[in-house]
Structure 1
Amino acid sequence: MPEEANTEGPKVRTLDARSLRGLAHPLRMRMLAALRHEGPATASQLAERLGESSGATSYHLRQLAAHGFVEDAPEHGKGRERWWRAVHDGTQFDEKLLYSEDPATRGAADLFVHELATIHTQELSTWLGTAQSWSQDWRRASDISDFTLHLTAEQSLELVRRMHDLINSYRDLPPAEGAETVRFHTHAFPRTGE
Protein backbone atom coordinates (compact mmCIF):
# COMPACT_ATOMS: atom_id res chain seq x y z
CA MET A 1 0.00 0.00 0.00
CA PRO A 2 1.53 3.39 -0.96
CA GLU A 3 2.43 5.88 1.74
CA GLU A 4 0.07 8.79 2.14
CA ALA A 5 1.18 12.38 2.41
CA ASN A 6 0.94 14.05 5.80
CA THR A 7 -2.17 16.25 5.63
CA GLU A 8 -1.43 18.00 8.92
CA GLY A 9 1.30 20.12 7.35
CA PRO A 10 4.59 21.17 8.88
CA LYS A 11 4.99 21.93 12.58
CA VAL A 12 5.67 25.67 12.57
CA ARG A 13 6.61 27.94 15.47
CA THR A 14 5.26 31.49 15.33
CA LEU A 15 7.77 33.91 16.79
CA ASP A 16 6.81 36.29 19.56
CA ALA A 17 9.04 39.03 20.95
CA ARG A 18 10.75 36.75 23.48
CA SER A 19 11.40 33.82 21.16
CA LEU A 20 12.56 36.20 18.41
CA ARG A 21 15.19 37.67 20.73
CA GLY A 22 16.31 34.10 21.53
CA LEU A 23 16.69 33.15 17.86
CA ALA A 24 17.90 36.39 16.25
CA HIS A 25 21.60 35.57 16.14
CA PRO A 26 23.36 34.53 12.92
CA LEU A 27 24.95 31.38 14.39
CA ARG A 28 21.75 30.29 16.15
CA MET A 29 19.78 30.70 12.95
CA ARG A 30 22.36 28.69 10.97
CA MET A 31 22.47 25.96 13.63
CA LEU A 32 18.69 25.65 13.75
CA ALA A 33 18.56 25.48 9.94
CA ALA A 34 21.23 22.75 9.95
CA LEU A 35 19.26 20.69 12.49
CA ARG A 36 16.07 21.13 10.47
CA HIS A 37 17.62 20.28 7.11
CA GLU A 38 20.23 17.69 8.07
CA GLY A 39 18.77 16.13 11.20
CA PRO A 40 20.03 15.70 14.77
CA ALA A 41 23.65 16.52 15.59
CA THR A 42 26.03 17.17 18.46
CA ALA A 43 27.57 20.56 19.25
CA SER A 44 30.90 19.26 17.90
CA GLN A 45 29.33 18.11 14.63
CA LEU A 46 27.61 21.48 14.18
CA ALA A 47 30.87 23.28 14.99
CA GLU A 48 32.71 21.35 12.30
CA ARG A 49 29.92 21.81 9.76
CA LEU A 50 29.62 25.56 10.38
CA GLY A 51 33.28 26.39 10.95
CA GLU A 52 32.78 27.41 14.60
CA SER A 53 34.18 26.29 17.93
CA SER A 54 32.31 23.57 19.82
CA GLY A 55 32.19 25.92 22.82
CA ALA A 56 30.25 28.46 20.75
CA THR A 57 27.85 25.89 19.29
CA SER A 58 27.31 24.32 22.71
CA TYR A 59 26.46 27.70 24.25
CA HIS A 60 24.09 28.66 21.44
CA LEU A 61 22.38 25.24 21.50
CA ARG A 62 21.60 25.79 25.19
CA GLN A 63 20.16 29.22 24.32
CA LEU A 64 18.03 27.71 21.55
CA ALA A 65 16.83 25.04 23.99
CA ALA A 66 15.95 27.68 26.61
CA HIS A 67 13.68 29.31 24.01
CA GLY A 68 12.13 26.01 22.90
CA PHE A 69 13.70 25.72 19.43
CA VAL A 70 15.79 22.58 20.05
CA GLU A 71 15.65 19.64 22.41
CA ASP A 72 17.72 16.62 23.37
CA ALA A 73 17.71 13.70 20.95
CA PRO A 74 18.85 10.95 23.37
CA GLU A 75 18.10 8.11 20.96
CA HIS A 76 21.11 9.27 18.89
CA GLY A 77 23.65 9.56 21.69
CA LYS A 78 26.19 7.11 22.99
CA GLY A 79 27.79 7.63 26.36
CA ARG A 80 28.34 11.29 27.12
CA GLU A 81 27.48 12.59 23.64
CA ARG A 82 24.61 15.07 23.72
CA TRP A 83 22.58 15.11 20.53
CA TRP A 84 20.14 17.87 19.62
CA ARG A 85 17.18 18.06 17.25
CA ALA A 86 14.92 20.86 16.04
CA VAL A 87 11.53 20.97 17.76
CA HIS A 88 9.70 22.52 14.78
CA ASP A 89 9.87 22.15 11.00
CA GLY A 90 9.83 25.89 10.41
CA THR A 91 9.46 29.34 11.87
CA GLN A 92 6.80 31.91 11.08
CA PHE A 93 7.74 35.56 11.40
CA ASP A 94 5.07 38.12 12.28
CA GLU A 95 6.05 41.34 10.53
CA LYS A 96 4.43 43.32 13.36
CA LEU A 97 7.63 42.57 15.30
CA LEU A 98 9.43 45.03 13.00
CA TYR A 99 7.21 47.81 14.40
CA SER A 100 7.30 46.86 18.07
CA GLU A 101 7.48 49.67 20.62
CA ASP A 102 10.41 47.82 22.22
CA PRO A 103 13.68 48.80 20.50
CA ALA A 104 15.28 45.44 21.43
CA THR A 105 12.47 43.59 19.66
CA ARG A 106 12.71 45.86 16.60
CA GLY A 107 16.48 45.29 16.49
CA ALA A 108 16.07 41.52 16.77
CA ALA A 109 13.41 41.55 14.04
CA ASP A 110 15.64 43.57 11.73
CA LEU A 111 18.59 41.25 12.36
CA PHE A 112 16.38 38.20 11.79
CA VAL A 113 15.07 39.28 8.36
CA HIS A 114 18.48 40.49 7.20
CA GLU A 115 20.08 37.20 8.26
CA LEU A 116 17.39 35.31 6.31
CA ALA A 117 18.29 37.34 3.21
CA THR A 118 21.98 36.55 3.80
CA ILE A 119 21.25 32.83 4.14
CA HIS A 120 19.21 32.87 0.92
CA THR A 121 22.04 34.65 -0.90
CA GLN A 122 24.59 32.12 0.41
CA GLU A 123 22.43 29.17 -0.64
CA LEU A 124 21.98 30.60 -4.13
CA SER A 125 25.71 31.31 -4.46
CA THR A 126 26.51 27.76 -3.38
CA TRP A 127 24.12 26.42 -6.03
CA LEU A 128 25.68 28.58 -8.75
CA GLY A 129 29.16 27.46 -7.72
CA THR A 130 28.28 23.76 -7.75
CA ALA A 131 25.61 23.53 -10.50
CA GLN A 132 28.03 21.95 -12.99
CA SER A 133 28.41 18.94 -10.66
CA TRP A 134 24.68 18.17 -10.87
CA SER A 135 23.00 16.27 -13.68
CA GLN A 136 21.45 18.11 -16.60
CA ASP A 137 18.01 17.05 -15.28
CA TRP A 138 18.67 18.81 -11.96
CA ARG A 139 20.13 21.89 -13.67
CA ARG A 140 17.02 22.07 -15.85
CA ALA A 141 14.82 21.62 -12.74
CA SER A 142 16.42 24.60 -10.99
CA ASP A 143 15.15 28.13 -11.42
CA ILE A 144 16.32 31.68 -10.93
CA SER A 145 13.50 33.93 -12.02
CA ASP A 146 12.08 37.29 -11.18
CA PHE A 147 8.79 38.84 -12.12
CA THR A 148 7.44 42.36 -11.93
CA LEU A 149 3.69 42.56 -11.46
CA HIS A 150 1.36 45.48 -10.78
CA LEU A 151 -0.73 44.37 -7.80
CA THR A 152 -2.52 45.75 -4.80
CA ALA A 153 -1.31 44.75 -1.34
CA GLU A 154 -4.27 42.36 -1.09
CA GLN A 155 -3.47 40.75 -4.45
CA SER A 156 0.18 40.33 -3.48
CA LEU A 157 -0.80 38.70 -0.19
CA GLU A 158 -3.18 36.37 -2.02
CA LEU A 159 -0.43 35.36 -4.47
CA VAL A 160 2.06 34.74 -1.64
CA ARG A 161 -0.45 32.56 0.20
CA ARG A 162 -1.28 30.60 -2.97
CA MET A 163 2.43 29.99 -3.65
CA HIS A 164 2.92 28.79 -0.07
CA ASP A 165 -0.08 26.47 -0.37
CA LEU A 166 1.26 25.01 -3.62
CA ILE A 167 4.75 24.48 -2.19
CA ASN A 168 3.33 22.93 0.99
CA SER A 169 1.26 20.51 -1.12
CA TYR A 170 4.58 18.94 -2.20
CA ARG A 171 6.12 18.89 1.29
CA ASP A 172 5.15 15.39 2.42
CA LEU A 173 5.02 13.42 -0.80
CA PRO A 174 6.04 9.78 -0.40
CA PRO A 175 9.77 9.22 -0.97
CA ALA A 176 10.64 8.81 -4.65
CA GLU A 177 13.74 7.39 -6.28
CA GLY A 178 16.14 10.18 -7.22
CA ALA A 179 14.58 12.71 -4.82
CA GLU A 180 16.89 15.36 -3.38
CA THR A 181 16.35 18.13 -0.86
CA VAL A 182 15.24 21.17 -2.86
CA ARG A 183 15.20 24.72 -1.46
CA PHE A 184 12.60 27.24 -2.62
CA HIS A 185 13.05 30.90 -1.74
CA THR A 186 10.26 33.39 -2.25
CA HIS A 187 10.68 37.13 -1.98
CA ALA A 188 7.84 39.57 -2.66
CA PHE A 189 8.21 43.29 -2.07
CA PRO A 190 6.91 46.53 -3.56
CA ARG A 191 9.09 48.89 -5.61
CA THR A 192 8.57 52.53 -6.40
CA GLY A 193 9.17 54.29 -9.69
CA GLU A 194 7.72 51.74 -12.09
Structure 2
Amino acid sequence: MPETEDGGDSPVDDPKIHTVDARTLRGLAHPLRLRLLNALREFGPATASGLANRLGESSGATSYHLRQLATYGFVEDDPERGKGRERWWRAVHMGTMFNSGRFMSHPDPEVRGAIGVVLHEIATTHAQELNTWLGTMHEWPEEWRRGWDVSDFKVRLTPDLSSELIGKIHDLIESYRDRVPEDTEGSATVRSHVHFFPRPAE
Protein backbone atom coordinates (compact mmCIF):
# COMPACT_ATOMS: atom_id res chain seq x y z
CA MET A 1 0.00 0.00 0.00
CA PRO A 2 4.41 6.55 -0.86
CA GLU A 3 1.61 7.06 0.76
CA THR A 4 -1.12 7.95 2.93
CA GLU A 5 -1.93 4.60 4.40
CA ASP A 6 -4.87 2.85 2.81
CA GLY A 7 -7.74 2.75 5.23
CA GLY A 8 -7.57 6.27 6.60
CA ASP A 9 -10.87 7.92 7.38
CA SER A 10 -9.92 11.61 7.35
CA PRO A 11 -10.76 13.78 4.33
CA VAL A 12 -7.74 15.01 2.40
CA ASP A 13 -7.62 17.89 -0.09
CA ASP A 14 -4.61 16.63 -2.01
CA PRO A 15 -4.58 15.73 -5.72
CA LYS A 16 -1.99 13.02 -4.99
CA ILE A 17 -4.48 11.19 -2.75
CA HIS A 18 -7.47 9.42 -4.26
CA THR A 19 -10.63 9.38 -2.16
CA VAL A 20 -12.49 6.17 -2.96
CA ASP A 21 -16.25 6.15 -3.48
CA ALA A 22 -18.60 3.17 -3.69
CA ARG A 23 -18.04 2.76 -7.44
CA THR A 24 -14.24 2.84 -7.39
CA LEU A 25 -14.17 0.66 -4.28
CA ARG A 26 -15.75 -2.15 -6.30
CA GLY A 27 -13.01 -1.76 -8.91
CA LEU A 28 -10.27 -1.90 -6.29
CA ALA A 29 -11.61 -4.85 -4.30
CA HIS A 30 -9.45 -7.62 -5.69
CA PRO A 31 -6.25 -8.92 -4.04
CA LEU A 32 -4.17 -8.81 -7.24
CA ARG A 33 -5.36 -5.30 -8.13
CA LEU A 34 -4.35 -4.06 -4.70
CA ARG A 35 -0.93 -5.70 -5.05
CA LEU A 36 -0.46 -4.23 -8.54
CA LEU A 37 -1.37 -0.75 -7.36
CA ASN A 38 0.94 -1.00 -4.36
CA ALA A 39 3.82 -2.19 -6.58
CA LEU A 40 3.39 0.71 -9.01
CA ARG A 41 3.28 3.19 -6.14
CA GLU A 42 6.33 1.77 -4.40
CA PHE A 43 8.57 0.83 -7.33
CA GLY A 44 7.37 3.12 -10.12
CA PRO A 45 6.11 2.50 -13.66
CA ALA A 46 6.22 -1.02 -15.05
CA THR A 47 4.84 -3.28 -17.75
CA ALA A 48 2.35 -6.06 -17.18
CA SER A 49 5.08 -8.65 -17.72
CA GLY A 50 7.45 -6.87 -15.33
CA LEU A 51 4.76 -6.80 -12.67
CA ALA A 52 3.95 -10.45 -13.36
CA ASN A 53 7.59 -11.38 -12.65
CA ARG A 54 7.67 -9.28 -9.48
CA LEU A 55 4.41 -10.67 -8.09
CA GLY A 56 4.66 -14.24 -9.32
CA GLU A 57 1.57 -13.97 -11.52
CA SER A 58 0.88 -14.56 -15.21
CA SER A 59 1.22 -11.58 -17.55
CA GLY A 60 -2.30 -12.28 -18.81
CA ALA A 61 -3.69 -11.79 -15.28
CA THR A 62 -1.66 -8.66 -14.57
CA SER A 63 -2.59 -7.16 -17.95
CA TYR A 64 -6.30 -7.75 -17.37
CA HIS A 65 -6.32 -6.32 -13.86
CA LEU A 66 -4.21 -3.31 -14.87
CA ARG A 67 -6.84 -2.48 -17.48
CA GLN A 68 -9.52 -2.78 -14.81
CA LEU A 69 -7.58 -0.45 -12.49
CA ALA A 70 -7.32 2.01 -15.38
CA THR A 71 -11.08 1.86 -15.93
CA TYR A 72 -11.59 3.00 -12.34
CA GLY A 73 -8.92 5.71 -12.50
CA PHE A 74 -6.20 4.14 -10.35
CA VAL A 75 -3.55 3.63 -13.04
CA GLU A 76 -2.80 5.09 -16.47
CA ASP A 77 -0.45 4.75 -19.42
CA ASP A 78 3.05 6.13 -18.92
CA PRO A 79 3.69 8.09 -22.15
CA GLU A 80 7.36 8.63 -21.31
CA ARG A 81 8.06 4.90 -21.49
CA GLY A 82 5.32 3.42 -23.64
CA LYS A 83 7.06 3.85 -26.99
CA GLY A 84 7.78 0.20 -27.77
CA ARG A 85 5.56 -2.82 -28.12
CA GLU A 86 4.95 -3.22 -24.38
CA ARG A 87 2.52 -0.97 -22.59
CA TRP A 88 3.89 0.80 -19.50
CA TRP A 89 1.66 1.66 -16.56
CA ARG A 90 1.97 4.10 -13.68
CA ALA A 91 -0.11 4.89 -10.60
CA VAL A 92 -2.27 8.00 -10.92
CA HIS A 93 -2.13 8.83 -7.19
CA MET A 94 0.41 8.35 -4.42
CA GLY A 95 -2.13 7.12 -1.89
CA THR A 96 -5.72 6.10 -1.32
CA MET A 97 -8.17 7.11 1.38
CA PHE A 98 -11.66 5.92 2.20
CA ASN A 99 -14.16 6.00 5.01
CA SER A 100 -14.25 2.35 5.99
CA GLY A 101 -16.99 2.88 8.60
CA ARG A 102 -19.33 4.37 6.02
CA PHE A 103 -18.74 1.50 3.61
CA MET A 104 -19.23 -1.09 6.36
CA SER A 105 -22.76 0.23 6.93
CA HIS A 106 -23.57 0.77 3.23
CA PRO A 107 -27.01 -0.56 2.18
CA ASP A 108 -25.49 -2.39 -0.82
CA PRO A 109 -24.07 -5.78 0.28
CA GLU A 110 -21.63 -5.68 -2.65
CA VAL A 111 -20.08 -2.51 -1.21
CA ARG A 112 -19.87 -4.07 2.26
CA GLY A 113 -18.18 -7.11 0.76
CA ALA A 114 -15.77 -4.95 -1.23
CA ILE A 115 -14.55 -3.01 1.80
CA GLY A 116 -14.02 -6.30 3.62
CA VAL A 117 -11.80 -7.56 0.79
CA VAL A 118 -9.77 -4.34 0.75
CA LEU A 119 -9.26 -4.19 4.52
CA HIS A 120 -8.25 -7.84 4.83
CA GLU A 121 -5.79 -7.49 1.95
CA ILE A 122 -4.25 -4.43 3.61
CA ALA A 123 -3.85 -6.38 6.87
CA THR A 124 -2.27 -9.28 4.96
CA THR A 125 0.17 -6.93 3.24
CA HIS A 126 1.17 -5.38 6.55
CA ALA A 127 1.89 -8.81 8.03
CA GLN A 128 3.92 -9.83 4.97
CA GLU A 129 5.99 -6.65 5.06
CA LEU A 130 6.80 -7.06 8.74
CA ASN A 131 7.68 -10.73 8.32
CA THR A 132 9.95 -9.88 5.37
CA TRP A 133 11.80 -7.36 7.53
CA LEU A 134 12.18 -9.83 10.39
CA GLY A 135 13.57 -12.40 7.98
CA THR A 136 16.06 -10.04 6.34
CA MET A 137 17.04 -7.57 9.07
CA HIS A 138 20.35 -9.39 9.58
CA GLU A 139 21.36 -8.13 6.13
CA TRP A 140 21.01 -4.47 7.16
CA PRO A 141 23.67 -2.29 8.85
CA GLU A 142 23.77 -2.21 12.63
CA GLU A 143 22.34 1.33 12.64
CA TRP A 144 19.13 0.10 11.02
CA ARG A 145 18.93 -2.92 13.32
CA ARG A 146 18.70 -0.37 16.14
CA GLY A 147 16.39 2.02 14.27
CA TRP A 148 13.26 -0.06 14.02
CA ASP A 149 10.40 -0.94 16.35
CA VAL A 150 7.49 -3.28 16.87
CA SER A 151 5.37 -2.32 19.86
CA ASP A 152 1.82 -2.58 21.09
CA PHE A 153 0.00 -0.53 23.71
CA LYS A 154 -3.25 -0.75 25.62
CA VAL A 155 -5.03 2.42 26.74
CA ARG A 156 -8.66 3.14 27.62
CA LEU A 157 -10.24 5.72 25.28
CA THR A 158 -13.56 6.97 23.99
CA PRO A 159 -14.19 6.87 20.21
CA ASP A 160 -13.49 10.62 20.00
CA LEU A 161 -10.20 10.33 21.87
CA SER A 162 -9.18 7.38 19.70
CA SER A 163 -9.80 9.49 16.58
CA GLU A 164 -7.84 12.36 18.12
CA LEU A 165 -4.87 10.11 18.88
CA ILE A 166 -4.92 8.63 15.37
CA GLY A 167 -4.88 12.12 13.89
CA LYS A 168 -1.93 13.19 16.04
CA ILE A 169 0.09 10.12 15.06
CA HIS A 170 -0.64 10.69 11.38
CA ASP A 171 0.40 14.34 11.69
CA LEU A 172 3.63 13.36 13.43
CA ILE A 173 4.55 10.88 10.71
CA GLU A 174 3.71 13.42 7.98
CA SER A 175 6.00 15.98 9.68
CA TYR A 176 8.96 13.75 8.76
CA ARG A 177 8.03 13.48 5.07
CA ASP A 178 10.50 15.10 2.62
CA ARG A 179 13.04 15.84 5.37
CA VAL A 180 15.59 13.48 3.83
CA PRO A 181 16.55 13.94 0.14
CA GLU A 182 16.17 10.87 -2.08
CA ASP A 183 19.91 10.30 -2.58
CA THR A 184 20.99 10.76 1.07
CA GLU A 185 23.67 8.20 1.94
CA GLY A 186 22.55 5.65 4.51
CA SER A 187 18.87 6.55 4.15
CA ALA A 188 16.04 4.17 3.29
CA THR A 189 12.30 4.29 2.82
CA VAL A 190 10.76 3.48 6.21
CA ARG A 191 7.39 1.73 6.23
CA SER A 192 5.09 2.40 9.19
CA HIS A 193 1.89 0.55 10.06
CA VAL A 194 -0.63 2.08 12.47
CA HIS A 195 -3.47 -0.09 13.77
CA PHE A 196 -6.11 1.10 16.22
CA PHE A 197 -9.04 -1.08 17.25
CA PRO A 198 -11.12 -1.60 20.42
CA ARG A 199 -11.03 -4.83 22.40
CA PRO A 200 -14.04 -6.28 24.25
CA ALA A 201 -14.00 -6.35 28.03
CA GLU A 202 -13.05 -9.70 29.51
Structure 2: tracts of 5 or more residues without a match: 1-12
* Structure with a larger share of its residues in helix: 1
User: Which of 76, 83, 91 in structure 2 is aligned with 1:86?
Assistant: 91
User: Which of 185, 190, 199 in structure 2 is aligned with 1:191?
Assistant: 199
What whole-Å deviation, never above 9, does each CA across 1:84-123 have from its counterpart, x for those lacking one? 1101111102121111100000000111101110010111
Query: TM-score, with normalisation over the residues of structure 2?
Result: 0.89
Q: Measure the CA separation in 1 of the matches of 2:172 and 2:81.
A: 34
Structure 1: tracts of 5 or more residues without a match: 1-7
| Amino-acid identity (%) | 63
The match for 2:144 is 138
1:73 aligns with 2:81: no
Q: Read off the aligned partner of 2:30 and give its amino acid letter.
A: H
User: Which of 123, 148, 152 in structure 1 is aligned with 2:158?
Assistant: 152
1:172 shift after superposition:
2.2
Contact 1:21 1:108 in 2 (8 A): yes
User: Which of 173, 176, 197 in structure 2 is aligned with 1:170?
Assistant: 176
The match for 1:47 is 52
Partner SS, residue 13 of structure 1: strand
1:32 aligns with 2:40: no
RMSD: 1.4
Q: Measure the CA separation in 1 of the matches of 2:86 and 2:109.
A: 39
The match for 1:5 is none
Contact 1:74 1:82 in 2 (8 A): no
